[in-house]
Amino acid sequence: MAKAKNNTIFFCQNCGYESAKWMGQCPGCREWNTFVEETAVTGQGKSKGNSIGRSQNMQSKPTVLAEISLQEEDRITTKIKELDRVLGGGIVTGSLTLVGGDPGIGKSTLLLQVCRNLALAGREVLYVSGEESLKQIKLRANRIGEFNEHLKLLCETSLQSIEETIRRSKPEVVIIDSIQTMYHEEVSSAPGSVSQVREATSVLLQLAKGLNVSVFIVGHVTKEGTVAGPRVLEHMVDTVLYFEGDRNASYRVLRGVKNRFGSTNEIGVFEMAATGLREVENPSEFMLNGKPEDASGSVVVCSMEGTRPILIEIQALVCHSNFGIPRRQTIGTDFNRVNLLMAVLEKRLGLQIGNCDAYVNIAGGIKIQEPAIDLGIAMAIVSSYKNRAIDSGVIAIGEVGLSGEVRAVSQIQGRVQEAKKLGFTTCIIPSVCMDSVKEMKGIKIIGVGNVREAMDLI
């Protein structure tokens, strides 16, 4: 019988490409300096790969697509509307979901609240923790509320023990906190390594599909803001959710960056309270809370996150620079986009802002990359430069091109309706969108064709 043999293999952290030697550039994804050295096991101790965790009752014969029926039971409602919105309507049975976020952002708290709601609904839930003890989980659970006997806790890091427990107890939902602490005994590398994370995810994927169990796995985040481990981890799961926000602030934003069962544009907004995470049903009102009155450099814009319009305040501060090279800084939006808009304003309006420091901030800490906020950024910069306050009842919507034209944006009717609902009296939109907007009582709609027309309204 062959004996187990330890070999050194190099893995690409980005795509999982394997190589017998280190290479500067990965042949698979063409990324540089992504190879890490790890010890792999061959021979008798080699892992079985995708056969691990496969159900013995799984049918191997093909199924006619027309005979597959989709029922409402295919999704499990978490009773957290913001989470269900991001997931596409609820938890899909047999799905594998990855939840990432900074330490202390509230990942474990959110999932524990999900466990509580599912357990109270009579569903069997298994919470597996590899980082906290049972008493630590109990302390956090006491802040959330009462739990019943349908929620089971397990403190374990061995994948074999977790697999046996899942097969024996047959829960409907499993929480793995976190994937970086899990280890497979047949893989000799340390927990959290590329080999262990990939093997652990493969086992959980086979369990989810074979036993029709919904699995949530928590992933640590690197300094770059991505889930630690190989990028192939995100390719293996069905849904990837990121928890964003400052851990010192009260708000949290749950964003779906991958979803095989729904849209990836939806976001959920939460507020951290003493009893856990609380849903923010009206994010626009929450984001505009504390908006200054009669202050220059402040304007409200409307951004679409999936099917939800969100009103956000954009703040700009423009002042003459005391240095040879002006300083530019942005928070919550694209730095290069702001520089482009400042160049357009200087060229098309003749403003001498090339030698000025400029600071642009998306109030509330949310990150927006949509071009529809271009007109708002440009108006905020001009307002601060001229020190003229924009009326608090004005909202600006539109994309700005290099020629200074204000271009059309999508879903303009929903944006205007959201502005009217929150009490705004004037809405500045692209003139090409005027035919797409129905007249509404209580709000004045003004169409502009270029940035000069928009700035004349300040």
Q: How confident is the model at residue 222 (pLDDT cuts 50, 70, 90)?
A: low
With the CA atoms of 142, 145, 148 and 153 taken in that order, what torsion angle do they form, in degrees rounded to the nearest 10?
A: -40
In this prediction the pTM is: 0.75
Lowest-pLDDT range of 209-213, 223-227, 423-427: 223-227
pLDDT at 195 over 90: no
Lowest-pLDDT range of 45-54, 90-99, 157-166, 401-410: 45-54
Half-sphere exposure of 263 (CA within 13 A, CB side): 14
Lowest-pLDDT range of 54-58, 150-154, 339-343: 54-58
Q: Where are the beta strands (DSSP E) in 113-161?
A: 125-129, 151-155
* CB contact set of 351 (below 8 Å; sequence gap of 6+): 345, 382, 385
User: 409 has which bridge partners?
Assistant: none
pLDDT for the residue 2: 47
Q: Where are the beta strands (DSSP E) in 132-247?
A: 151-155, 173-177, 214-219, 239-244
pLDDT at 325 over 50: yes
Provide the CATH topology of domain 75-281. Rossmann fold (3.40.50)
Average pLDDT over residues 236-241: 93
pLDDT at 3 over 70: no
pLDDT for the residue 233: 81
pLDDT at 43 over 60: no
Query: Which listed CATH number (3.40.190.10, 3.30.230.10, 3.40.50.2300, 1.10.3720.10) goes with 286-455?
Result: 3.30.230.10
Q: How confident is the model at residue 93 (pLDDT cuts 50, 70, 90)?
A: very high
Cβ(402)–Cβ(434) under 8 Å? no
pLDDT for the residue 54: 43
Q: How many helices (H) and strands (E) does the chain have?
A: 11, 23
Residue 425: both structure tokens together: 């009296």
pLDDT at 30 over 90: no
Lowest-pLDDT range of 53-57, 73-77, 207-211: 53-57
pLDDT for the residue 431: 95
Q: What percent of the chain has pLDDT over 90?
A: 52
Residue 414: both structure tokens together: 């929903």
Tell me whether domains 75-281 and 286-455 share a fold. Answer: no
> Within a 10 A sphere around the Cβ of 45, how many other Cβ atoms?
16
Map out the domains of the chain as residue ranges.
5-43, 75-281, 286-455
Helix (H, G, I), strand (E, B) or coil at 11: strand
Q: What is the pLDDT of residues 249-293, one digit of tens each?
A: 778 889 888 999 888 878 898 988 888 899 988 888 888 888 888
Helix or strand holding residue 36 (H, E):
strand 35-42
The span from the first CA to the last CA of the chain, in angstroms, equals 83
Cβ(98)–Cβ(227) under 8 Å? yes
pLDDT at 76 over 70: yes
Lowest-pLDDT range of 11-20, 147-156, 306-315, 360-369: 11-20
State the average pLDDT for the chain: 86
pLDDT for the residue 292: 86
Q: How confident is the model at residue 55 (pLDDT cuts 50, 70, 90)?
A: very low
* CB contact set of 188 (below 8 Å; sequence gap of 6+): 6, 39, 40, 41, 45
**291 vs 47, more confident:** 291
